[in-house]
Amino acid sequence: MDNQSCVKIINEWDIVSARQLGRNVAKELGFGTVDQARITTAISELARNIFLYAGQGQICIEKLYENGKTGLRLLSIDSGPGIKDLRQVMEDGYSTSGGLGAGLPGVKRLMDDFQIDSSPGEGTDIRAIKWLR
Amino acid sequence: MDFRQKLESKYREILTNYLADRSEQALYQGQKLSRNAIERNIPPEEIVSIHRNIMAEMFPEKFNDRMQESFDILLEVMVAYGFAYREHQNLKHIQQELRTEMEIAANVQKTLLGTEIPCKKDMDIGAISVPAKHMNGDYFNFVEDENNSVSIAIADVIGKGLPAALCMSMIKYAMDSLPENRKTPTLVLENLNRVVEQNVDLTMFITMFYGTYHIDHHIFSYASAGHEPGLFYHAETQTFSELPAKGLLLGIEKNTKYRKYEKEVMPGDMIILMSDGVTESRTKEGFIEREELLALIEKNIHLKAQNIVQNVYKELEKLQDFQLRDDFTLIILRRNV
């Protein structure tokens, strides 16, 4: 796909590259500074999860044009251990009490749309969208 | 104008005023604005952004690119605070929901476990039971029967709160379903012991005291499953002694047998039953001494039984700075003179 670019997450520095990619696309699409910061914070959280818990995976950024709306889609794909209880990681306060899945509910709140799929042993696939207002 | 635009124009006004006169008045306006913004769930990064935009607009020369760019760092830091703030808001909401649910559950429990204190010509009975949290892990129950006797059960689940309360509801229904002819103290405990042993996990234990007061010949027969020892007040000598009782806690060993004890009650004598929440009332100096408890009862001994238990509770509550550490139950049965 032309309008999708990805960054492999293997070490901590890759988190910075993923943020940079996300910020460039967000700027290009016309997001304001506050939304840029929100999008990069969401990218940081997801990339950090890959780095800390999955070992490796990738962050992809996609430009979206749908029904006259412009948006940015953020994908986080890994082939790590996966998440057994999705309901639990989507609960506020879970990540702070230790354990995996840092701040997924927070990422969901920073974005406009959020979907997560995960199978134990196969990995996790997260898609989130922010629309330009 | 939507709220964000209003906020921005109000912020501009306050900032302009402050830069003109550096007055406390303007700062106070700023504080009021923040309250308004918090009510509307405006995250902190939004405020930083407003500040930066207005500064750039008001001082296009002085607020140069460098100054503006420095705000990128502040914005980034504040997004993380906003992140935490939104989580906090949501947790607060969840906490409120849980609290409401607990209050409803506590009311349901009150109805389920409710018991009426019997009114008997020859007896004066008082009882109080106060949970440390919302739900009560102590339980007491009075039963009157046609042989002119009053039976009393008092039980305490080790632990408190919701798990203890759930467990108590089971005890209550197990007891209600016992047939009339099996309501002697030892049989009640032996039956309940089997129910608890089969239905409750190994980490939960229940202590229980069951006694029957035969009003016709003023004999109190009782048995105890590891429950906090009761006290006996001898009116004639004005002294207290312990009601001796031995027995294993409920739920430990399936075939436990309980021993029956009897005590003759003279006019003015009192039987005092309690949960360990009474004896383990804690002050800064440690557990209260038994002498202190006895002194409290003695101080109120001229009153009706219900007033004695209430006054003792009030005093112990005060001694503990109004923070109960365990569920508190105190019951007094007195033979009228």
Q: Which helix (H) or strand (E) holds B138?
A: strand B138-145
The domain of B184 spans: 115-335
Average pLDDT, chain A: 89
Q: Is residue B263 part of a domain?
A: yes
Eight-state DSSP code of residue B178: S
- Rounded to 5 degrees, φ, ψ at A113 are -140, 140
The pLDDT, as a whole number, for residue A101 is 43
The model's confidence at residue B191, banded by pLDDT at 50, 70 and 90, is very high
Looking at the fold, whether B76 and B145 belong to one and the same domain comes out as: no
Chain B positions touching A93 (Cβ under 8 A) are 87, 91
Looking at the fold, whether B150 and B32 belong to one and the same domain comes out as: no
Residue range B110-147, pLDDT digits in tens: 888 888 898 888 899 999 999 888 888 888 999 888 78
Please indicate if any CB of chain B lies within 8 Å of the CB of A1: no
Task: Note the pTM of the prediction, 2 decimals.
Answer: 0.70
The pLDDT, as a whole number, for residue B35 is 93
- Rounded to 5 degrees, φ, ψ at A72 are -125, 130
The pLDDT, as a whole number, for residue A100 is 42
- The answer, yes or no, to whether residue A98 has pLDDT greater than 60, is no
Looking at the fold, whether B89 and B176 belong to one and the same domain comes out as: no
Tokens of B35: 């309250």
Please indicate if any CB of chain A lies within 8 Å of the CB of B46: yes
Instruction: Put residue B66 in one of left, alpha, beta given phi > 0 → left and psi -120 to 50 → alpha.
Output: alpha
Looking at the fold, whether B72 and B125 belong to one and the same domain comes out as: no
Tokens of B134: 């919302």
- State the total domains in chain B: 2
Residue range A42-92, pLDDT digits in tens: 999 999 999 988 888 999 999 999 999 999 999 999 999 998 888 888 887
Please indicate if any CB of chain A lies within 8 Å of the CB of B76: yes
H helices present in B59-121, as ranges: 65-113
Residue range B158-169, pLDDT digits in tens: 766 777 788 888
Q: Is residue B99 part of a domain?
A: no
Q: Is residue B52 part of a domain?
A: yes
* C-beta separation of B248 from B255 below 8 A: no
Looking at the fold, whether B131 and B40 belong to one and the same domain comes out as: no
Looking at the fold, whether B168 and B309 belong to one and the same domain comes out as: yes
What is the CA B106 to chain-centroid distance, rounded? 10
d(CA A19, CA A39): 8
Residue range B54-103, pLDDT digits in tens: 999 999 988 888 998 999 999 999 998 888 888 888 889 999 999 999 88
The model's confidence at residue A2, banded by pLDDT at 50, 70 and 90, is low
Please indicate if any CB of chain A lies within 8 Å of the CB of B269: no
Looking at the fold, whether B120 and B83 belong to one and the same domain comes out as: no
Looking at the fold, whether B75 and B221 belong to one and the same domain comes out as: no
Q: Is residue B110 part of a domain?
A: no
Q: State the smallest CA–CA distance between residue B8 and chain A in angstroms.
A: 15
Please indicate if any CB of chain B lies within 8 Å of the CB of A41: yes
The pLDDT, as a whole number, for residue B316 is 87
The model's confidence at residue B250, banded by pLDDT at 50, 70 and 90, is very high
Name the residue among A37, A93, A105 with its Cβ closest to that of B76: A37
The domain of A101 spans: 4-131
User: What CATH number has the domain bearing residue A56?
Assistant: 3.30.565.10
* C-beta separation of A51 from A93 below 8 A: no
Residue range B308-317, pLDDT digits in tens: 999 999 988 8
d(CA A26, CA A40): 9
User: What CATH number has the domain bearing residue B32?
Assistant: 1.10.1240.30
Closest of B199, B136, B150 to residue B173, by C-alpha: B199
- State the total domains in chain A: 1
Q: Do A110 and B83 touch (CB under 8 A)?
A: yes
Chain A positions touching B49 (Cβ under 8 A) are 32-34
Looking at the fold, whether B67 and B141 belong to one and the same domain comes out as: no
User: What CATH number has the domain bearing residue B200?
Assistant: 3.60.40.10
